[in-house]
Structure 1
Amino acid sequence: MPDSLTRAVRWDTVVGALLLALLLSFGCVDGFGNALNLSFLLGNTLPIALIALPMTLLVVAGEIDLSVASTAGLSGAVLGRLWNEGLAIETIIPLCLLLGLACGLLNGLLVTRLGLPSLAVTIGTLAAYRGIAQIVLGSDAVTDFPARYLDFASGRVGGSFLPQAFLPFLALLALAVVVLHATPFGRSLFAVGASEEAARFAGIRVKRTKLALFACSGFMSALTGVFWALHYASARYDNATGLELSVVAAVLLGGIDFDGGRGTLGGALAGVFLLGALQNVMSLVNVSAQSQTVVTGVLLVVSVLGPRAARQIGGVRRSV
């Protein structure tokens, strides 16, 4: 079978083509194509996109982190509490990022040192981190952050639709692409996801690699929590609730194999913005939040089944 035909049935290629087709068709939805709405779309999708970067690396390596939204919520709660205590925000933000790093390291140590499954561990810390966030901030909502930070988190570049915060994300995306697809470390993640035992025999430090990935996930989740609080000008303990479902759905929708060892960051990014565009259009046509959750759940199921079906089709064609 020709290489071009093989690429054509790759799931991430299908998702990229579907994203392009949907963006073109969404142009007929009233208000979708104006600069303000496109700015809202990108700004609201950025939290998913930020966490999707380390989540992609984790899933490629055969692990998952379901505590990301709770870590983001805890980071936002600490941001609000320390701001109320009178600390400078330039001091608070690094502390929040270090807290996220510690949360990620805890997840990683439980998985790598005790041999516990990451799914079970991060379900537990999902509840624990959210509970700590509620203890830290209670039911308060902190909104009086410095204007320059609020403007950066929600403002646009000049008169364009591009959010200011999107530019640092592009730098992080470029770094993640290079790490995953152009370094020995990235190749080791695919090896670990494909066969952990074989990777260990090949000299890869599997436990250390996974620990680094969980630490990165916690750090990026905390960064997302800070961005969320500033973007929406509100620090609450329940910030980002349910975000983990959107992140996992988007990453798997982009063709990252849940069993590990397969996928591309390009596919994951296409899945992120496909989900973000769908949510944006559903909001424009007044689809209820509950119905949007149903759609996300359906996409999560499709994202698990779709890549497997695409690989089976490819396997059948190669055998012909």
Structure 2
Amino acid sequence: MTATTTAAAAIARTYRDYDRPLWQRVLLTREMAIVALVVVVAVVAAATVRGFGQPITVTYLLLDVMPILLIALPMTLIMITGEIDLSVASIVGLSSVLTGVLTAGGLPFELAAVVALVAGAVCGAVNGFLVTVVGLPSLAVTIGTLALFRGLAVGLLGTTAITDFPDFWTDLAKARVGGSNVPVVLFVFLVLLVVFIVLLHFTPFGRGIYAIGLSKAAARFSGVHVERTKFVLFVLAGLISALAGIFYTLRFGSARGDNATGLELQVIAAVVLGGVSVFGGRGAIHGVIAGVLLIGVLSSALRLANVTSDVINIITGALLVLSVVTSSFLVWLRKRRKAPGGTPRVEASTAG
């Protein structure tokens, strides 16, 4: 009976996505819709908002969203597995404080940055250990470590700020390529972007990430090391968050315990807006990058139009809710199309 059921399921299964031409599978996707929306919003903003179309605006926009772009890369992989990391902004603050305290204590900035990166990886390892070994929910774990890491950052530095950093590094964080308006730090992001695209979309490790998000049990039976994969992703999130913290410190020239407070919500909003399912198993890097840029373009244009930060947060939140609702509606609609009348379709050849 088991063999008959398996054979029937195999015959009844259809692959509608691959029935379409390649251009449709590439262009008619949620991710490409976000990319198109970014272009439309940017064009409208350039035409209607004074000052938005200037090249220098693009420079500051990229510098503003750079921490979000960096952290969104590992966050995408984590959320595809069905987990989440809310502690990333606290790791940014902790790495910023460590860099400042060690530099002020006489340690060379380069060595202080390395220590901060190691500390970020350790923070990610703590999250990964509690989630994969202890078996606690990632939401509860990272809410706790969010407070823990932020408390360590504030405890180390208090309410003061360290602003004495080498001019070479602070200038480099804000430098532009030649006479253009392209920030130098963009090339660091592009290197990491290529690494994460290859890792997620072109390796067995990446296929395992999608398998975990769809079904942990099925992934485990398929030979995927579920716990090890999640642990590696949390460590990557901690490491990249520490890198974002170092950039944040150099860009603003200040190490404070409250640096990047609330940044985790912007990262998660951008990832979900970019097409990553909150239930796991679905998402793509290019959609997430478009989601980050969409939020950045909207925020920049609204600020130039003298819109308050509260209204900007309301608009961003509304976009996030609309994105989740639209995604759920499209999934429901797709299921209805596959099974008219609400009942699964069974091919006539399986009746026997």
Q: Which amino acid aligns with 1:108?
A: G
- For 2:182 and 2:330, locate their aligned partners in 1 and report how far apart those are by CA, in whole Å: 34
Residue 17 of structure 1 is aligned with which of 12, 36, 39? 36
Total equivalences in the alignment: 320
Q: Secondary structure at the match of 2:107?
A: coil
Q: Is the 8 A contact 1:141 1:236 kept in 2?
A: yes
> Where do residues 66-85 of structure 1 align in structure 2 (5 Å cutoff)?
66-85=86-105
Q: Which amino acid aligns with 1:24?
A: V
Q: Shift in Å at residue 260 of structure 1?
A: 0.7
- For 1:131 and 1:275, locate their aligned partners in 2 and report how far apart those are by CA, in whole Å: 29
Q: Secondary structure at the match of 2:139?
A: helix
Give the % identical residues. Answer: 46
Query: Which ranges of structure 1 fall in alignment gaps of 5 or more residues?
Result: none
Residue 254 of structure 1 is aligned with which of 274, 279, 282? 274
Q: Secondary structure at the match of 1:66?
A: coil
- For 1:296 and 1:67, locate their aligned partners in 2 and report how far apart those are by CA, in whole Å: 20
Q: Is the 8 A contact 1:9 1:314 kept in 2?
A: no
Q: Shift in Å at residue 207 of structure 1?
A: 0.4
Q: Shift in Å at residue 253 of structure 1?
A: 0.2
2:189 is aligned with 1:172: no
| Cα RMSD, aligned residues only | 1.5
Q: Shift in Å at residue 299 of structure 1?
A: 2.3
Q: Which residue of 1 aligns with 2:107?
A: 87
Q: Is the 8 A contact 2:104 2:164 kept in 1?
A: no
Q: Shift in Å at residue 140 of structure 1?
A: 1.2
- For 2:326 and 2:179, locate their aligned partners in 1 and report how far apart those are by CA, in whole Å: 39
Q: TM-score, normalised by structure 1?
A: 0.96
Q: Which residue of 2 aligns with 1:272?
A: 292
Q: Shift in Å at residue 10 of structure 1?
A: 2.8
> Where do residues 1-320 of structure 1 align in structure 2 (5 Å cutoff)?
2-3=20-21, 10-28=29-47, 29-317=49-337
Structure whose CA Rg is larger: 2
Q: Is the 8 A contact 1:61 1:192 kept in 2?
A: yes
Q: Which amino acid aligns with 1:27?
A: A
Q: Shift in Å at residue 7 of structure 1?
A: 5.6
Q: Secondary structure at the match of 2:289?
A: helix
Q: Please say which of residues 196-205 and 152-161 is displaced more in the overlay.
A: 152-161
Q: Secondary structure at the match of 2:75?
A: helix
Q: Please say which of residues 291-300 and 227-236 is displaced more in the overlay.
A: 291-300
- For 1:130 and 1:308, locate their aligned partners in 2 and report how far apart those are by CA, in whole Å: 34
Q: Shift in Å at residue 275 of structure 1?
A: 0.7
Q: Which amino acid aligns with 2:112?
A: I
Q: Shift in Å at residue 237 of structure 1?
A: 0.6
- For 2:134 and 2:252, locate their aligned partners in 1 and report how far apart those are by CA, in whole Å: 38
Q: Is the 8 A contact 1:6 1:314 kept in 2?
A: no
1:114-162: CA deviations, max 9, x gaps? 1100011001111111011000111111112111111111111112111
Q: Shift in Å at residue 314 of structure 1?
A: 4.0
- For 2:267 and 2:138, locate their aligned partners in 1 and report how far apart those are by CA, in whole Å: 16
1:92-123: CA deviations, max 9, x gaps? 00000000000000000000011100011001
Q: Which amino acid aligns with 2:143?
A: I
- For 1:227 and 1:299, locate their aligned partners in 2 and report how far apart those are by CA, in whole Å: 28
Q: Which amino acid aligns with 1:300?
A: L
- For 1:87 and 1:282, locate their aligned partners in 2 and report how far apart those are by CA, in whole Å: 41
Q: Please say which of residues 25-34 and 238-247 is displaced more in the overlay.
A: 25-34
- For 2:337 and 2:65, locate their aligned partners in 1 and report how far apart those are by CA, in whole Å: 36
Q: Which amino acid aligns with 1:263?
A: G
Q: Which amino acid aligns with 2:37?
A: L
1:151-188: CA deviations, max 9, x gaps? 11111111211111001100100110000000000000
Q: Is the 8 A contact 2:31 2:284 kept in 1?
A: yes
- For 2:24 and 2:74, locate their aligned partners in 1 and report how far apart those are by CA, in whole Å: 30
Q: TM-score, normalised by structure 2?
A: 0.88
Query: Which ranges of structure 2 fall in alignment gaps of 5 or more residues?
Result: 1-15, 341-352
